[in-house]
Structure 1
């Protein structure tokens, strides 16, 4: 084994164009049925020819990883790792030269869907968290893996061994099996936010960030493209200027994005659905077993009926140390024990970079407890209630929040 000294990338696998076209016919036919447009052949060819190469994860190298389900709701739970890379390779020159950065996972998020599809959790790992990194395969030399390391920042894992190394690190950190992963770069964020038609975001206090060039007044802003990317990247312009409050700012965006995607307008609009599929396939690098329409449709069906208040965005619990943060293992163990058991969770508060939206929709009044009860009404199953996690912060997709902006005067 040897310790890596330069940026490495996972080996890319060439896709079979004929198999890819076949897999995308199902999705194209679905668009055809709801749109009435005679574009099936064109759409299938377009999607198949523009798809990005996939990456083989360590757990699926022998082809015996997670099985491909039939079209329909996903059976059981699922874990997917979503990684945002700050690499400038292959990106528009507006983001800077290719030699200006390495290949760091600037954003690392784990999506967990419970086995009964009653709840879902997205865990954000602060990029400056010092964690153990296990031995990772070297994509260029599988016979000589990289040595494990006892404490390195989690955002360096993409540099050491590509997406498979990030997956292995998060598996060891959480105790969860992660058979699916995806990596997106700056252009992918721009494309996805544009494809959905923009995301309405509330700004509670003015955001001023000279580093990203983002300046937003208080109020609601429809963000897409470049502005959406810079909103997600801003750190100096929100909260206390730390990466931790940046995560809270991202949760403001993600919760609104979830509400937008689950809205009737998006789910019944074939143009938006096709644009989303095209944007994802052309801008996101997927692990082999995720790069399949059956899987994508099944996961979407598992998510679509989960109530917004049962979709939680949480920050991996940490404590401050010199040069970054370190895991709060007691709180983290409680979090991942609940996820492993597919229990719903109740969070201990927000992460400090957001405000309650004063214009949030008013919830319906609770039912009158003295009202007559229908004797034929179905009886809800008994539940032990959610696991209360006082040491874990975040919000649900059903909570309407605003970014807590920060001006240049306070920086």
Structure 2
């Protein structure tokens, strides 16, 4: 594998192109993320606003604390912008401590495409969007295990279709209504700020999020410059530019190249030229970059130049927006100390398992499995020891107790369809009848809904129905952790999953704690990873 320095030009005397992508990358989108002409593209095509910070953000967290706490403390604190952690109504409970009294940390990394400064406008391109509502074009959940032995990272594609919950800005009381149906997840940032992106993640995953860190264009460039370049690999010469001018402009020779500055931003934004040209390939490139950057930082833990460290500290803090729990350099330093406890070989990067819906994607059953592993603090690399679990605490009682069984209205939905099996016939009627025999005379069978659920779950829309939902689960022997609040339902709803395809007695399946193959796991110590270049973009 050859090693190449980051080129000063793009070859043959051609000046380096900026990272702007053409606005003509795909059909014009409507607010719900669908092409306005109704056409379904074979894979996602992007319009304007493409950037990806994931890689730099985690490393930025780790470096800000590494030495900045001793430089211009007050000035640096003033540089950091603050925003509310969670703007939603669904406040997921904090995880129960393990036997040693330790709890995991979950940090949501957000990449904003804001063109809110001259520097961000110049770096981000798409100048006609200067000052427009920003999008959360990169979203990554970083899970630090309770014992600090491992770290899991889950990326969500920016065009994932889901429901954005109602978000309320506590500063001025502005209420942003829940989305009318499913929309692209990157629009959550425009519903009051990063706190709504956090609320959207918690609603989807059931994972309690402790902090968020949002970074802009300038932060990516300053990080790559500060470490003197990050090694990345391509399996052929690449130039991310087609005959119509689409692409990031990235131009590299085959093998390992050390990239920094705007070239690093190009790598993170490149879609044209990597594998199938989709956002999923771009996420893979981001994971490779992040792993490599973290390895660089660990190998060069102390930056030799005080001036370089000062500039890094200033640039990094200016690029950050965080929740109040991380609003000082000291707090960032404490967090970075925790993150640095994890060796690269115990870091696992994943992408939320998904399937295409036209030109967009949606979570699959494997996505829920991945979220469960994170919720239960199970290492995605499969190297967890068998810990001695603390005695589970009795679940906190609902604010509104259950009604009498006969007065509980519960709708039964057939969710037994899987990627390989059709829905089991007659399940709604069978389970409804079993409920009626137990006294739930208000049970009904929904024979029209077509859903797919790997595990059986009882959903409820609001706190006043939580007691009813728990009572239904108890009567059927469904575990308490399978009772979920959800805005997808209007009343207590029992979704009979693929784990209950026959019979009237529910038996909870043995948990499979292996990371799904569809999550495309990449180990943090893998320094052999190389991006595949599409033949049409080589030179």
TM-score category, normalised to shorter length: 0.7 to 0.9
Task: Give how far 1:160 is off.
Answer: 2.5
Task: Give how far 1:403 is off.
Answer: 1.7
Determine the structure 1 residue equivalent to 2:392: none
Q: CA RMSD in A?
A: 3.3
After TM superposition, the score normalised by the length of structure 1 is: 0.73
TM alignment of 1:306-325, pairs within 5 A? 306-325=342-361
Q: Distance in 1 between matches of 2:157 and 2:333?
A: 30
Asked if the contact 2:165–2:199 (Cα under 8 Å) also holds between the matched residues in 1, the reply is yes
**Structure 2 SS opposite 1:157:** helix
Q: Distance in 1 between matches of 2:205 and 2:138?
A: 17
Pair 1:44-2:73 in alignment: yes
Task: Give how far 1:87 is off.
Answer: 2.1
Q: Distance in 2 between matches of 1:402 and 1:241?
A: 15
**For this pair of structures, how many residues does the alignment match?**
334
Q: Which has the larger radius of gyration?
A: 2
Q: Deviations over 1:173-197 (max 9, x none)?
A: 1111113112111111111111222
| 301 and 103 in structure 1: CA distance in 2 versus 1, 3 angstrom threshold | same
Pair 1:114-2:114 in alignment: no
Q: Deviations over 1:192-223 (max 9, x none)?
A: 11122221112222222122111111122111
User: Which 5+ residue runs of structure 2 have no aligned equivalent?
Assistant: 1-30, 33-63, 95-100, 242-246, 389-511
Q: Deviations over 1:351-379 (max 9, x none)?
A: xxxxxxxxxxxxxxxxxxxxxxxxxxxxx
| 75 and 213 in structure 1: CA distance in 2 versus 1, 3 angstrom threshold | same
**Structure 1 SS opposite 2:233:** strand
Determine the structure 2 residue equivalent to 1:173: 204
Task: Give how far 1:333 is off.
Answer: 1.8
| Bigger share in strand | 1
User: Which 5+ residue runs of structure 1 have no aligned equivalent?
Assistant: 6-23, 32-39, 67-73, 348-379
Equivalent of residue 86 in structure 1, options 105, 113, 119:
113
Equivalent of residue 342 in structure 1, options 372, 377, 385:
377
Determine the structure 1 residue equivalent to 2:127: 97
Pair 1:284-2:313 in alignment: no
Equivalent of residue 241 in structure 1, options 253, 271, 277:
277
| 381 and 127 in structure 1: CA distance in 2 versus 1, 3 angstrom threshold | closer
Q: Distance in 1 between matches of 2:513 and 2:228?
A: 34
Task: Give how far 1:323 is off.
Answer: 2.3
Determine the structure 2 residue equivalent to 1:266: 301
Q: Distance in 2 between matches of 1:158 and 1:382?
A: 39
Q: Deviations over 1:29-54 (max 9, x none)?
A: x65xxxxxxxx5xx3354245x1321
Q: Distance in 1 between matches of 2:118 and 2:314?
A: 18
Determine the structure 1 residue equivalent to 2:398: none
Q: Distance in 2 between matches of 1:381 and 1:407?
A: 44
| 25 and 118 in structure 1: CA distance in 2 versus 1, 3 angstrom threshold | closer
